[in-house]
């Protein structure tokens, strides 16, 4: 319970900073129509409507524009590492980022199903966490249905490929991807925990 309250407190504390960052980039709000035209290159990996065909690439459909924009800037500026995305994002202007982010945010994500044998553990971790292991509930930041919180730049998780979520959680756990909150949560998760909660997230609707 203490760890859950800590995460909530941190989340609330981060909201003003996320909002302030967004405000500095809100001069141009983006055009979904322009974003669709600019997404041709992206579609090779992420699908024409942001629903990728394989877990190697994340689904972008329905993701918050604030999170997508923040992520594209991180790739562009070298704060997040990925050989493919670094090259593609390097040439993006703020207008390009806004257009692409708004376009994908307006698309509908295709959801999957929870693996039956992972349902109970996945639901426990997502909704309630695990107090004995010190794992905070995912729902504290990402909401009961996995939609996240746009103003705090907490991403929507629902419907995301389980395989992609597993890869990211392991990266957070192993320090290959840096986010103070997520590093702290993931470090306490076993491979089995990661597999279960990732499967649960894919089935959220």
50-83 pLDDT tens trace? 999 999 999 999 999 999 999 999 999 999 999 9
Amino acid 104: pLDDT: 98
pLDDT tens digit sequence for 163-183: 999 999 999 999 999 999 999
Average pLDDT, integer, range 180-195: 97
For the chain, the structural domain boundaries read 2-12+111-203, 31-105
Q: How confident is the model at residue 27 (pLDDT cuts 50, 70, 90)?
A: confident
pLDDT tens digit sequence for 79-115: 999 999 999 999 999 999 999 999 999 999 999 999 9
Mean pLDDT, the chain, as a whole number? 90
Amino acid 26: pLDDT: 54
Cβ neighbours of residue 140 closer than 8 Å, sequence gap 6 or more: 4, 7, 8, 11, 129
pTM of the model: 0.85
pLDDT at 154 over 70: yes
More confident residue, 13 or 74: 74
pLDDT at 22 over 80: no
Superfamily for domain range 2-12+111-203: Cytochrome c-like domain (1.10.760.10)
Measured CA distances, 114 to 125, 171, 197 (Å): 14, 22, 9
Q: Do domains 2-12+111-203 and 31-105 have the same CATH topology?
A: yes
The CATH architecture one would assign to domain 31-105 is Orthogonal Bundle (1.10)
């Amino acid at each position: 319970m203490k760890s859950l309250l800590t995460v909530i407190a941190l989340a609330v504390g981060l909201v003003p900073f996320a909002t302030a960052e967004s405000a500095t980039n809100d001069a141009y709000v983006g055009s979904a129509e322009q974003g669709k035209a600019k997404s041709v290159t992206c579609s090779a990996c992420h699908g024409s409507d942001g629903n990728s065909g394989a877990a190697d690439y994340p689904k972008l459909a329905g993701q918050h524009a604030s999170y997508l924009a923040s992520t594209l800037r991180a790739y562009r500026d070298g704060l997040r590492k990925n050989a493919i995305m670094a090259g593609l994002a390097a040439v993006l202007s703020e207008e390009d980022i806004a257009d692409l982010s708004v376009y994908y945010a307006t698309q509908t994500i295709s959801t999957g199903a929870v693996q039956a044998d992972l349902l109970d553990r996945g639901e426990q971790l997502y909704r309630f966490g695990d107090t004995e292991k010190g794992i905070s509930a995912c729902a504290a930041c990402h909401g009961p249905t996995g939609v996240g919180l746009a103003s705090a730049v907490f991403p929507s998780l629902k419907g995301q490929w389980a395989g992609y979520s597993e890869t990211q959680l392991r990266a957070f756990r192993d320090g290959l991807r840096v986010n103070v909150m997520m590093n702290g949560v993931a470090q306490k998760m076993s491979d089995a925990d990661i597999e279960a909660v990732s499967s649960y997230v894919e089935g959220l609707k």
